[in-house]
């Protein structure tokens, strides 16, 4: 299922008539936003998934960082969370305790209160959270709003889809993907604050649809396109090598198909490089449209280049295409 399918399904649901709904089902945004008063709006999101690493404590941290990410991607501050747990009743409860400890430690780091949760008996373990945050209604970071000339900025390397596929296939051990695991654990809190400080005009986080799929959600049907320099896109160590060994997840191919009609390949990229740009990410970084004069303010919070990457630029384009160079 891709972004287009999802849009079609959501269109069938009855609309949300309330004036207080600032961001609802009709846009491809990361979380819903409901206005409480003119200075405060609630941001709400929910996300859970199957383990991407073997270590339960680490998985708990990654799932929590991932669930919080959609709040940060809206320019919001998470305040409270509820656990969502699926766990087989015949499995060692110590494992579940470790998953929950990972989640709760990550919430603590983010200054978010855990209010409760719900557990369901399920053969395949899954974990995640429903998260509530606050945002200033005048400073919501939507997916759309970029202008021609804005820089395209990414705040974490790519490759977690390929690397977790390689981990499942025993091509790699957890020690081999240390850097990617730390990346998935890390909060997008800093990136979100840097985005606001730099006056980012639009933003999202990179997750299941891959870099190109999420970039497409930042582009309206027409008028605005984006030029992406593939050599400036960062990857976690061993991603390319594992992709060459066939460890590309099926989702990357589906993401690639969905984006096909908007894609123009004008550089010397091979097909594998295009696929890597479609690799589904877990707890990926933020993808931002930053006005050039906002780069300084952004850098002051985010740190020097290497903590973030400028990977392209938004351009005028009647057909709203993504040009890969």
Q: Judged by CB, which is closer to Co ion: 29, or 150?
A: 29
Window 110-149: residues binding Co ion (CB under 5 A) = none
Is residue 301 within 8 Å of 197, Cβ to Cβ? yes
Alpha carbon separation from 271 to 193, 268, 274, 288, 324 (Å, rounded): 35, 10, 5, 25, 12
Q: Least distance to Co ion from the beta carbon of 289, Å?
A: 15
Selected from 29, 30, 227, 317, the binder of Co ion by CB under 5 A is: 30
Q: Least distance to Co ion from the beta carbon of 91, Å?
A: 26
Q: Judged by CB, which is closer to Co ion: 70, or 150?
A: 70
Q: Which residues pair with 286 in a beta bridge?
A: 205
Q: Least distance to Co ion from the beta carbon of 75, Å?
A: 13
Q: Judged by CB, which is closer to Co ion: 32, or 60?
A: 32
CA atoms of 199 and 197, how far apart (whole Å): 5
Is residue 59 within 8 Å of 46, Cβ to Cβ? no
Q: Which residues pair with 34 in a beta bridge?
A: 21, 42
Residue nearest to Co ion (CB): 30
Q: Judged by CB, which is closer to Co ion: 41, or 243?
A: 41
Q: Least distance to Co ion from the beta carbon of 72, Å?
A: 9
Window 254-293: residues binding Co ion (CB under 5 A) = none
Nearest to 198 by CA among 230, 152, 233, 144: 152
What binding mask, one character per residue, do residues 62-81 give for Co ion by CB under 5 A, x or -? --------x--x--------
Q: Judged by CB, which is closer to Co ion: 73, or 86?
A: 73
Largest CA distance in the chain: 57
Q: Judged by CB, which is closer to Co ion: 69, or 239?
A: 69
Q: Least distance to Co ion from the beta carbon of 210, Å?
A: 12
CA atoms of 163 and 177, how far apart (whole Å): 7
Q: Least distance to Co ion from the beta carbon of 79, Å?
A: 18
Q: Judged by CB, which is closer to Co ion: 287, or 323?
A: 287
CA atoms of 144 and 147, how far apart (whole Å): 9
Q: For residue 61, how many other CB atoms are within 10 A of its CB? A: 28
Selected from 28, 33, 47, 295, the binder of Co ion by CB under 5 A is: 47
Candidate ranges 17-25, 200-208, 224-232, 270-278; the one touching Co ion (CB under 5 A): 200-208
Torsion angle (degrees, nearest 10) of CA 317, 322, 323, 324: 170
Candidate ranges 3-11, 26-34, 146-154, 168-176; the one touching Co ion (CB under 5 A): 26-34
Q: How many CA atoms lie within 13 A of 41 on its CB side?
A: 25
Kindly state whether residue 189 participates in binding Co ion, applying the rule CB under 5 A: no
Candidate ranges 6-14, 46-54, 77-85, 195-203; the one touching Co ion (CB under 5 A): 46-54
Kindly state whether residue 29 participates in binding Co ion, applying the rule CB under 5 A: no
CA atoms of 69 and 188, how far apart (whole Å): 6
Give the residue carrying structure tokens 């909060």.
187
Q: Judged by CB, which is closer to Co ion: 205, or 317?
A: 205
Kindly state whether residue 205 participates in binding Co ion, applying the rule CB under 5 A: yes
Nearest to 91 by CA among 119, 58, 62, 128: 119
Alpha carbon separation from 168 to 60, 113, 233 (Å, rounded): 17, 33, 25
CA atoms of 133 and 114, how far apart (whole Å): 12
Q: How many residues of this chain bind Co ion (CB under 5 A)?
A: 5
Q: Least distance to Co ion from the beta carbon of 217, Å?
A: 9
Q: Judged by CB, which is closer to Co ion: 6, or 89?
A: 6
3-state secondary structure of 113: strand
Residues in contact with Co ion by the rule CB under 5 A: 30, 47, 70, 73, 205
């Amino acid at each position: 299922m891709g972004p287009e399918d999802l849009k079609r399904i959501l269109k069938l649901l009855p609309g949300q008539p309330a004036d207080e709904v600032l961001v609802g089902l009709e846009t491809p945004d990361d979380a819903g936003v409901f206005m409480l008063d003119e200075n405060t709006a609630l941001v709400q999101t929910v996300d859970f998934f199957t383990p991407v690493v073997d270590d339960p404590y680490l998985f708990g941290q990654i799932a929590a960082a991932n669930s919080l990410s959609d709040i940060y991607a809206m320019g919001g501050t998470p305040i409270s969370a509820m656990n969502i747990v699926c766990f087989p009743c015949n499995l060692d409860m110590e494992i579940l305790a470790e998953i929950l400890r990972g989640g709760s430690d990550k919430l603590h780091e983010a200054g978010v209160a855990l209010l409760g949760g719900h557990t369901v008996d399920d053969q395949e373990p899954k974990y995640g959270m429903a998260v509530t945050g606050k945002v200033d209604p005048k400073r919501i970071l939507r997916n759309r709003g970029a202008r021609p000339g804005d820089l395209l900025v990414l705040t974490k390397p790519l490759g977690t889809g390929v690397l977790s596929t390689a981990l499942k296939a025993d091509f790699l051990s957890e020690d081999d993907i240390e850097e990617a695991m730390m990346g998935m654990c890390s909060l997008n809190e800093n990136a979100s604050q840097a985005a606001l400080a730099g006056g980012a005009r639009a933003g999202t986080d990179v997750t299941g649809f891959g870099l190109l799929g999420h970039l497409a959600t930042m582009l309206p049907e027409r008028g605005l396109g984006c030029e992406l320099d593939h050599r400036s896109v960062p990857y976690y160590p061993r991603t390319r090598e594992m992709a060459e060994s066939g460890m590309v997840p099926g989702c990357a191919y589906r993401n690639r198909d969905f984006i096909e009609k908007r894609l123009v390949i004008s550089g010397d990229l091979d097909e594998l490089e295009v696929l890597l740009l479609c690799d589904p990410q877990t707890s990926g970084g933020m993808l931002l449209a930053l006005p050039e004069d906002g780069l300084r303010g952004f850098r002051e919070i985010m740190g020097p280049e290497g903590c973030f990457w400028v990977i392209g630029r938004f351009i005028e384009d009647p057909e709203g295409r993504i040009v890969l160079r």
